[in-house]
Amino acid sequence: MLSMRRMAMSRGVVFVISGPSGVGKGTLLNALIDRNKDKIGYSVSATTRDKRDGEIEGVHYFFKTNEEFDELIKIGDVLEYDTYSGNRYGTLKSVLMDAINIGKSIALDITVPGAMALKESLKNDVVTVFIMPPSVEVLRQRLTDRNREGLDEIEERIRFAVQSELSKYYDYDYVVINNDLEKAVDDLENILNAEFLRVNRNPDLLDKV
């Protein structure tokens, strides 16, 4: 039944998750995609950094010069981007639209401003999910346990989460509390499957019955 339903679906979904650092976004998204490899895959971003050994154009990234990236921004193809270590990483509208127009779904883990930019641009083609920690103390403990930052940086991340991120969940379509990993992945999978059944993603269903 599921394969028949997916065959009948004509549009994919841009599946966006956001949340504070340490909430478990990457782990959740990896688990969701592992469970649903026939339904959804990762987005391929554009970047201005140099290609590393073993990286493949269009598989790991779309590698651009700064001038090429600027031109993509100018023509409106860059929906959102961030800068890390002097290099820009951005989401291309053309890549997302090419995928969903042939029924492929794309997953992204991006910042709150990035998610809102995609929501504004892609409208009904995007679904946004905010990943919420069960408490600020649990978030602090997770940041401490991963042993990547010093105490000052951890507290700065906590301040940023409280002041600039957690209250933004009201702007999202769904919220998932990551208290139990399996339960949270189940919740994400349920959201994904429900989005596949939206009428606007199945406009030609009668032609295929």
Give tens-digit pLDDT for 112-142.
999 999 999 999 999 999 999 999 999 999 9
Phi and psi for 113 in degrees, rounded to 5? -60, -40
- Stretch 147-157: mean pLDDT, rounded? 91
**Residue 105 near residue 15 (C-beta atoms within 8 A):** yes
Confidence tier at 149 by pLDDT (50, 70, 90): confident
Burial of 60 (0-12, 13-18, 19+ CB in 10 A): middle
Q: Compute the distance between CA of residue 59 and CA of residue 184 in angstroms, rounded to an integer.
A: 28
For residue 6, pLDDT beyond 50: no
Q: What pLDDT, in 10s, does the model give residues 16-27?
A: 999 999 999 999
**Which pLDDT does position 200 carry in this prediction?**
85
Q: Pairing relation of β-strands 40-42 and 126-132?
A: unpaired
Q: What pLDDT, in 10s, does the model give residues 42-76?
A: 999 999 999 999 999 999 999 999 999 999 999 99
Cβ-Cβ contacts under 8 Å for 122 (sequence gap 6 or more):
14, 79, 93, 96
**Which pLDDT does position 48 carry in this prediction?**
98
Confidence tier at 2 by pLDDT (50, 70, 90): very low
**Which pLDDT does position 7 carry in this prediction?**
45
- Stretch 166-191: mean pLDDT, rounded? 97
| Helix, strand, coil tally for the chain in percent (to 5) | 50, 20, 30
Fold of 2-198: Rossmann fold (3.40.50)
Q: Compute the distance between CA of residue 199 and CA of residue 191 in angstroms, rounded to an integer.
A: 15
- Stretch 67-95: mean pLDDT, rounded? 96
